[in-house]
Structure 1
Amino acid sequence: MSEKSQKIGIVGAGIQGVCNALFLQKKGFQVTLFDRDEPGNAASYGNAGHFSPYASVSLNRTDILTDVPQMLISSRGPLALKWNYVPKMVPWFVRFVANCRKEKMMHTAKYMHQILDQSLPAFDELFQDINLEGLVESKGILYVWTNKSIKSRELEIQIRDELGVKQQLVNPKEIHDLEPNLKPFYDGGVFYDYARHARNPRKILVKLFEKFIEKGGKFLKLNIQNVDFDGELPVLRSEAQRFIFDKLVIACGAFSKRLTDKLHENIPLDTERGYHVHFKGCDHLISRPVVYADRGFGMTPMEQGLRVVGTVEFGGLENPLSKSRIKNLILNAKDMIDGLPEHKDEWLGFRPTLPDFLPVIGPSKNYKNVFYSFGHHHLGWTLGAISGKIVSKMVANENTNLDLQPYSSIRFS
């Protein structure tokens, strides 16, 4: 069967699904996207908007376990638990702890770096087809910290140096020169001058989606509830309809496990719940994203205002928004900048996370015509385009010239 006559279904119309769709179209496939919501209303709307090609050091660090108790005790810390969810998280946490050894940490960092290093060029391939005027800024991303967290920061710097990640250490004077409106609470930082940020992530996603439709793609707003097979061909089922495809891509973020479980794969996907608020009319106060590394949150200047985003909360998909996490963001922001007004737009989203902090990219363990693109934790936005490019080549049986085994779902067998 020629590629142009092959029909591909994609479940999920966030940044992963839309980027997969566009790269598959470039290969000549006929693509249909499914989502229960309109594109751009979930995690791809509410994220920090960072394009972070440097972010190879993930949460499975050798020093994290000694820090966790203090993080949980502190109401101002970067980590929180919904205690009613703890029993469900135990198997995930056991696997996570096993991935906090040095060799596992370095394995994750190496293979995150492999795809992060190609993340911006992959986006440029897609961005050349749309008008992004005013929506992406190349002013770098700044991380700041106090000496209380210096050991953790030194570990990150060392690992990135070993991987060849370009980073510029900055002292308090240099931080002030970059961002004069920050209060002088910091002792040092690092500046990634080649990083970018989105002024409005949702608008960018919608422009990519509109290009997909313009090129003949189809979108069906349906809640896909099941996957089964007609011979080797995957069949998607909503409540009232069925759709048969030659190949299928599952790219629905934190909700992907609901489908992979039906494919007899026990992939330990869970969710880090992330929050944001906006301070309207305050985007002029900083020139670029600023991340306060001690507290695991950051601020990004956006069209909607100054977006304050971050923290990690383990609590699954069903628990309600935590007002204490919102309060934490507000207080942290006011520790960094004076004169902020009343906040707006309290938002909760779900980061799909695996215990080794590597995504799942590639074919299903059990079904050769099903492919995965999920589990990118904090980096789903940054890795949207490169993941889509990789999956499109795998679907087309082309060589990627990358070592893709570390991203395979087989690692959880």
Structure 2
Amino acid sequence: MSSNPKIGIVGAGIQGVSNALFLQKKGFDVTLFDRDEPGSPAASYGNAGHFSPYASLSLNRTDVLADVPAMLLSSTGPLALKWNYVPKMIPWFIKFILNTSKRKMMHTAKYMHQILDLALPAYDELFDEIDLEGLVENKGILYIWNDKDLKSRELEIKVRDELGVKQQLVNKHEIHDLEPNIRPFYHAGVYYPYARHARNPKRILLKLFELFLKKGGKFEKSNIQEIKFENEKPIFKTEKEEYKFDKIVIACGAFSKKLTDNLGEKIPLDTERGYHVHFKDCDHLLSRPVIFSNRGFGITPMEQGLRVVGTVEFGGLENPLSKSRIKNLINNAKYMLGDLPEHEDEWLGFRPTLPDFLPVMGPSKNYKNVFYCFGHHHLGWTLGPISGKIVSGMVAEENTNLDLNPYSSHRFA
């Protein structure tokens, strides 16, 4: 029997797998749990594939409230509601509105920037141990807009400048040189040359998962029904049996709330529903991800074709996929690129989002051997490894020079 402390992790997406790998580096004996196989069609499979270390400004912007009604009324817009879910979301929306002041916006931006700045080096630490086979491309990420969207872009650019984010403003000609196949509806944009994108997020996740197994990690495909305790040591109860650990990490994204409620901690986690479709054999049309800011959608060239992603829909975990949101993505893609073949792979996934748009990372309020790592909203893919590295350090009780207070769940107490 190994005498290394035993850690159980709920969730085998990019957060859970990253936590597992960094805990292994520290000598822990790790078991991952998920009710699905790793790489299943959840958020780590279906995301936009961006590694976006610049994205420190979130939805809780001072100007966003004025834009919401127009966004909701526009059929091409980035925002939608499932009306049957609105009553459930009212407490979340109230907290969200309270987080759109200038002070709160800058607080979120500062502490997102702190971890985003470390995000790519943390990925590289893990990538050093696998054969990436060209699955990550370093061609930057391009945002474009037309004039009527300039106001909100100015705010974004100014805040990123204040934080020291490297950004390159581009004009029409420069955009055309970067991406000649985009229809010329745009007026200007910003290019982040050091950003990267995944050619296939699922295959990258599976390579990291295989590395975890190769290093002696264990995987249990089962649903954690409840968490119990014996002498402060956490126990996972599944349909079939119980598993006892020294410490555990809850990293199952939008599904984490069921477990934190079970632990008697009220964390206002909800979900932003995101969609994607693919246009097969069209990935040669773009060299890098392109985001059209006015409509809040983007297109990433991937192995599966062009992956069109976007929209934010508030509708919880139970509502079915919205055909109107899928149609919105198809129309937007054709607006950007003209004629495209029939789309494939309609997908809906869940972004775990807190009303202040900061993740929750750190120990539970009520149990010192339980750690959280969820709530990364649109940046779960970008922030997986750095979050895993930070939380593994907390589990190991190491000192850090980062200010980790802002990510604590205690802020909701």
Range class of TM-score, shorter chain: over 0.9
For the residue of structure 2 that corresponds to 1:158, the secondary structure is helix
Give the drift of 1:400.
2.1
- Provide Cα deviations, 1:365-384, integer angstroms capped at 9, x if missing partner: 11110000000000000000
For the residue of structure 2 that corresponds to 1:5, the secondary structure is coil
Structure 2 residue identity aligned to 1:319: N
Specify the alignment match of 2:28 in structure 1.
Answer: 29
For the residue of structure 1 that corresponds to 2:382, the secondary structure is coil
Specify the alignment match of 1:219 in structure 2.
Answer: 219
Q: Counterparts in 2 of 1:116-127, with a 5 A limit?
A: 116-127=116-127
Specify the alignment match of 2:242 in structure 1.
Answer: 242
Specify the alignment match of 2:202 in structure 1.
Answer: 202
Q: Within 2, Cα distance between the matches of 1:76 and 1:231?
A: 55
Specify the alignment match of 1:8 in structure 2.
Answer: 7
Percent sequence identity over matched residues? 78
Q: Within 2, Cα distance between the matches of 1:319 and 1:252?
A: 19
Number of residue equivalences: 412
Q: Within 2, Cα distance between the matches of 1:154 and 1:408?
A: 31
Give the drift of 1:339.
2.2
2:347 matched to 1:356?
no
Q: Structure 1 unaligned segments of length 5 or more: list them.
A: none
Specify the alignment match of 2:292 in structure 1.
Answer: 292
Specify the alignment match of 1:18 in structure 2.
Answer: 17
Specify the alignment match of 2:92 in structure 1.
Answer: 92
For the residue of structure 2 that corresponds to 1:70, the secondary structure is helix
Q: Structure 2 unaligned segments of length 5 or more: list them.
A: none
Structure 2 residue identity aligned to 1:234: P
Give the drift of 1:240.
2.1
Q: Counterparts in 2 of 1:86-235, with a 5 A limit?
A: 86-235=86-235
Structure 2 residue identity aligned to 1:293: S
2:395 matched to 1:368?
no
The ranges of structure 1 where at least 4 consecutive aligned residues each deviate by more than 2 angstroms after the TM superposition are none
For the residue of structure 1 that corresponds to 2:321, the secondary structure is coil
- TM-score calculated relative to the size of structure 1: 0.99
Specify the alignment match of 1:59 in structure 2.
Answer: 59
For the residue of structure 2 that corresponds to 1:389, the secondary structure is helix
Q: Within 2, Cα distance between the matches of 1:162 and 1:40?
A: 38
Give the drift of 1:399.
1.3
Q: Within 2, Cα distance between the matches of 1:401 and 1:225?
A: 36
Structure 1 residue identity aligned to 2:21: L
Q: Within 1, Cα distance between the matches of 2:317 and 2:25?
A: 34
Structure 2 residue identity aligned to 1:307: R
Give the drift of 1:295.
0.8
Q: Within 1, Cα distance between the matches of 2:325 and 2:158?
A: 31
Q: Within 2, Cα distance between the matches of 1:292 and 1:242?
A: 48
Specify the alignment match of 1:318 in structure 2.
Answer: 318
- Provide Cα deviations, 1:298-351, integer angstroms capped at 9, x if missing partner: 000000000000100000000000000000000001000022111000000000
Structure 1 residue identity aligned to 2:12: A
Q: Within 2, Cα distance between the matches of 1:316 and 1:292?
A: 26
Does structure 2 retain, via aligned residues, the 8 Å contact 1:4–1:29?
Answer: no
- Provide Cα deviations, 1:164-208, integer angstroms capped at 9, x if missing partner: 000000000000000000000001000000000000000000000
Q: Within 2, Cα distance between the matches of 1:398 and 1:293?
A: 41
- Provide Cα deviations, 1:37-91, integer angstroms capped at 9, x if missing partner: 0011110000000000000000000000010000000111000000000000000
Give the drift of 1:4.
5.5
Q: Within 2, Cα distance between the matches of 1:225 and 1:298?
A: 37
Q: Counterparts in 2 of 1:43-58, with a 5 A limit?
A: 43-58=43-58
Q: Within 2, Cα distance between the matches of 1:7 and 1:207?
A: 23
Please tell me the root mean square deviation across aligned C-alpha atoms, in Å. Answer: 0.9
Does structure 2 retain, via aligned residues, the 8 Å contact 1:4–1:28?
Answer: no
